[in-house]
A and B are shown apart, each in its own frame.
Chain A
């Protein structure tokens, strides 16, 4: 039996920022991660000497613009990382395609506002931002604040701008189908459109390396390749976590970042009996991703946007499909089209990432022998869809990796491979247990920026003593 001040469950970005925040102040903190590598959903692997990233397309909240104080400044400060050690490359521009029309946006918000004017209700967008969008508050959790669609409908009516604006926001963080909480929408709208997109120079690996080094410097204890098998409770207190190898770790406080339904499933009373009450629901928004390695940078194939968001369906609703995938609604990222100081040395410069909505239950019910075949068929469908938009990258592909909702579920442990977690959020990070807190996606802040902020906010609000 080992004892710590705090146990953090899960080594994704929210777990890393929570553990680091605690370690900075001398807490004896133990971070438990089931994989051999940190990062959770946003990680990387090496194949044939090449680094391949997963999940991360672009970071939001480009800090170089004229928007409000960037959360990156706050995140880096709170984690005591000099910004010089975390250079960010801005996007060139991105494009939203809806059927046959398109809208471009970049890291200068004025471009977006100008572009919007080409569409019905386009002159309403500026007013909507000024009057309706919730103010930016980095230290308050976003909470729900009602339906985003309802507010958008009031301003934009049946203008194509509505789905055009909704699409990238949903792609960056809708845990719910069809609609999302207006609080989360407001935060993401500002993050994507008003501040803009960027990528870390050196990719996600650079960020993870920086965080890993800082955690070691401040003496956090990292327990990799260990899965938490049970969270043992008595009354309203968590007593310990039991690892898969049978060992127990006790602590005064616990932070779980593995998701609310996933945390729920591990709760046991001290006699080892699972809780009988009903589990919170698992999310249904998941993706299929094709990582296409190319023989040249994507710009040489005529693909110039940093990111492309597209919807070719008549009704552009963001929900789990009834087939394996919905290739007509997706996002494409070309890391090589971000403005790096030294493009040639970027690990992902000659890749493209194609992502579309996918249904976990459909993939899970495939007969065993068909999984590989269906993966390749799905990849082909996505590449064909991109070709129909005018970019046929197939002749330049030298290698392909495909991840499905099953891959996500298996690797991250997230129920149903739900990328943005459960539709049921714990906005204040509190659980029914007095010394167990939730950080990460199911606290309600999505994406890489959201995850890092979530770990910081939950620790500041609930674990650091009130001075």
Chain B
């Protein structure tokens, strides 16, 4: 999966979780918490959504790495590659 594809995936999950927010102006390097007002409950939802869609387990100590879109892409890239068939 390319970074652009992973970015789409991440934004898709966020769009599901916070349907009120306009994501077109999102800046990848700034904390989602500041830009979208996400709180810890919303982060739990992101983690749960990754678990549901990709059967991916994310330990709690890794949550800080999901603070930005860029961080999330970087975190997911090797893990999604492992899941890819073949």
Q: Write the residues of chain A forming the contact surface with B, with a CB cutoff of 8 angstroms.
A: 24-26, 74, 76-78, 80-84, 139, 460, 464-467
Contacts and interface: CB of A to CB of B under 8 A. Distances in A.
A82 B20 contact: yes
Q: Which of A74, A77, A83, A460 has the most CB of B within 10 A?
A: A77
Interface string B36-57: 0001011011011101100001
A80 B48 contact: no
29 contacts: A24-B45, A25-B49, A25-B51, A25-B52, A26-B52, A76-B20, A77-B17, A77-B42, A78-B41, A78-B45, A80-B16, A80-B17, A80-B19, A81-B19, A82-B19, A83-B20, A84-B20, A139-B41, A460-B41, A460-B44, A464-B44, A464-B48, A465-B51, A466-B60, A467-B47, A467-B48, A467-B57, A467-B59, A467-B60
B9 interface: no
Nearest to A457: B41
A77 B52 CA distance: 18
B58 interface: yes
B64 to A, nearest CB: 13
A320 B15 CA distance: 48
B18 interface: yes
Chain A contact residues: helix, strand, loop or mixed: loop
Contacts of A24: 45
A25 B48 contact: yes
B41 A74 contact: yes
Nearest to B19: A82
A322 B54 CA distance: 61
Interface residues of B, number: 20
A138 to B, nearest CB: 9
Closest 7 CB pairs of A and B: A82-B19, A26-B52, A467-B47, A25-B48, A25-B52, A83-B20, A82-B20
A141 to B, nearest CB: 15
B41 A467 contact: no
Nearest to A464: B48
Contacts of B48: 25, 464, 467
A215 to B, nearest CB: 16
Nearest to B43: A467
A44 to B, nearest CB: 26
Contacts of A466: 60
A74 B49 CA distance: 17
Chain B contact residues: helix, strand, loop or mixed: helix
Contacts of A25: 48-49, 51-52
Contacts of A465: 51
Given A74-B39, A77-B20, A464-B48, 14 more contacts: A24-B45, A25-B48, A26-B52, A77-B18, A77-B41, A77-B42, A78-B41, A78-B45, A80-B19, A81-B19, A460-B44, A464-B44, A467-B44, A467-B48
B62 to A, nearest CB: 9
Nearest to A74: B41
A28 to B, nearest CB: 12
Contacts of B20: 76-77, 82-84
B38 to A, nearest CB: 9
Contacts of A74: 39, 41
Contacts of A26: 52
A37 B19 CA distance: 27
A464 B39 CA distance: 17
Given A77-B17, A80-B17, A82-B20, A467 B42 contact: no
A213 to B, nearest CB: 14
Contacts of A77: 17-18, 20, 41-42
B42 to A, nearest CB: 7
Contacts of A83: 20
A467 B16 contact: no
A80 B18 CA distance: 7
Contacts of B19: 80-82
A26 B47 CA distance: 13
A443 to B, nearest CB: 18
Q: Which of B16, B41, B42, B63 has the most CB of A within 10 A?
A: B41
Contacts of B18: 77
Contacts of A82: 19-20
B11 to A, nearest CB: 15
Contacts of B49: 25
A83 B19 CA distance: 8
A6 to B, nearest CB: 15
A74 B42 CA distance: 9
Contacts of B41: 74, 77-78, 139, 460
Nearest to B18: A77
A25 B42 CA distance: 13
Nearest to B48: A25
